[in-house]
Structure formats: C-alpha cells, structure tokens
Amino acid sequence: MEELIAKKYIKALKVESDLEYIQGARDVFAVLSDSFKEEKFVSIVSNPNVSSEDKSSLLLEAVKPAKSEKLNNFIKLLVEHKRINIIPAIAKELDKDIAISTKTFIGKVFSDSEIDKKTIKSLSEGLSKKFDSSISLKFIKNDFNGIKVEVEGLGIEINFSKDRIDSQIIEHIIKAI
C-alpha cells in the first residue's frame, strides 16, 4: 500500500524536475529512510503528542543541506498529510525510478557454493545484453542448493536448483524405461 502512495508522491516530485534533481532527492530520502532505523527518531515522528510543526522542523533540518525549496515544500506536504511513515517507501521507489530511467540495475546471485568473480561478471554481461541495460550482480552465499539470480528492478528471477535438475533427470530416465 505504501508503495502505491509513494509512487503518487514521486510523480508529483518529478513534475518539472530533471534526472539530476531526482537523484539528489533520492540521496536525501535515502538518508531520511536510514533515520527510520533508529527507535528514537521513529518514536518522535510517530508520536501523536508531538506537533506537526515540530515534526516538520525536525525533517526540514535533516534536508537543509539539499538547499531546495521544492524539497522543503515536499517534506511539509508529507507532514501535513500525515505521510511521514512512507519516507522509506519513497526512497525505495525513487531508487527503482532512477534505475529504470538510467537503465542501471543491481542484482543478486544466491548460491550455497562459491561462484568466482569471472562467472558473475559473465552472467552480468549476458543479462545486460539481453535486457539492453547495465546490470551489475553481487554474490550472496546462502543455503540455496543451486544458483538463483534476481534483478528486482527488472522483475527477473532465474534459478537452477540442483534438486530440481536431479529429479527431472530421474523422471526422464523413468519415462525412457
């Protein structure tokens, strides 16, 4: 739900804004989003006893280095409509929007065994060609028995499970007999 609301606010933020401004706004919202990981900050902005003016001044002080009247008005609008809680969703959606605009995506490769950097680079280059984008992949070791590649911004998920391949080979042999 928050993502849908965040998209509407981002649409308003993008009006008459260039990519450079949006990237700056993304940086500001990324910092604000990190603030939501601190209990004290969350308790202040979600406390109904703290006035909207105090919440607004707290957030405006955080975005002051951006020196943007448009961003200040945007923050005031979020406070006025009691939408402070969607700031992390706005940061996430801005990341997605910029990735789509610049065709630059970051994906993840999951596996239970080590995959060398050359293979990851090869996967990255292949996906980049296939989707006419710049895709960089990060390796994350986990308990997935096979290889799984995810590029969230493009909605790509490819996986090769050793268990599934083994069962398909057995199934094929049984059918052949």
Mapping DSSP onto H, E and C, the string for the chain reads CHHHHHHHHHHHHHCCCCHHHHHHHHHHHHHHHHHCCCHHHHHHHHCCCCCHHHHHHHHHHHHHHHCCHHHHHHHHHHHHCCCHHHHHHHHHHHHHHHHHHHCEEEEEEEECCCCCHHHHHHHHHHHHHHCCCEEEEEEEECCCCEEEEEEHHHCEEEEEEHHHHHHHHHHHHHHHC
**pLDDT, tens digit, 9 for 90 and up, residues 97-126:** 899 889 999 999 998 888 888 988 998 999
| Residue 174 pLDDT > 80 | no
- Break the chain into its structural domains and give their ranges: 2-99, 103-176
Tell me if the pTM is above 0.85. Answer: no
Q: What's the CATH fold of domain 2-99?
A: Peroxidase; domain 1 (1.10.520)
Lowest mean pLDDT among 140-144, 154-158, 170-174: 170-174
Predicted confidence band at 50 (pLDDT cuts at 50, 70, 90)? confident
